[in-house]
Amino acid sequence: MKIKHLLYAFAFVFCSYTVSAQTKVGTVNINILVSKLPEITQVKQGMEAYEKELQGDLKLKLDAYGKEVEEANKAFATMSEENKKKKQQEIFDLEADIQKFRQNAVQLVQLRQDELMRPLYKKVSDAVAVVSKAEGYTQVFTLDGNELAYVDPQYDLTLKTAAKLGLTIETKK
């Protein structure tokens, strides 16, 4: 009978230890949180203003192109072949410039959006870290990208692995 009680006690202690050693995993939808922040209005306004600025720049380029084409069409009748070719090349160069501007504008808009959204994502990330620590989560995944939003540094094996490899890594504090 004593052995039976001893086995139950050992099983209870072992189960308690394994339960406390397990990690606690959660999820968070960061995009929903970011979209509800009051600062999102300022980001949208900033993006609209930047897009208008780029559209204004494009309009100037298109107007200059249209004027150049119109002037060239009027002057083609009296131009020499050499001058016609030069004028045509100028027009082609303007077309290429407009096309390049359009392509770059898409990238510029994306860069500006990333720049304006970065502080919002940082704010949400910091809040996720605070809640995760307070609630005892060791890992939190994002719902929209299945990326880690938070990892308890205690479970990060980077430094131990670096030491095993003989590497030195500086940590952020």
Query: Could you read off the pLDDT of 14-64 as tens digits, one per residue?
Result: 554 444 557 888 889 888 999 999 999 999 999 999 999 999 999 999 999
- Range with the poorest average pLDDT among 31-45, 87-101, 143-157: 143-157
Domain ranges of the chain: 23-151
| Interatomic CA distance for residues 142 and 149, integer angstroms | 6
Q: Which two tokens stand for residue 72?
A: 């060239």
pLDDT at 18: 47
pLDDT tens digits along 97-136: 999 999 999 999 999 999 999 999 999 989 998 998 888 8
- Whether 154 has a pLDDT exceeding 90, the answer reads no
CB 18 within 8 A of CB 10: no
Enclosing H/E stretch for 123: helix 81-135
Residue closest to 75 by CA, chosen among 62, 94, 88, 65: 88
Q: pTM, whole model, 2 decimals?
A: 0.67
SS3 (DSSP) at 151: strand
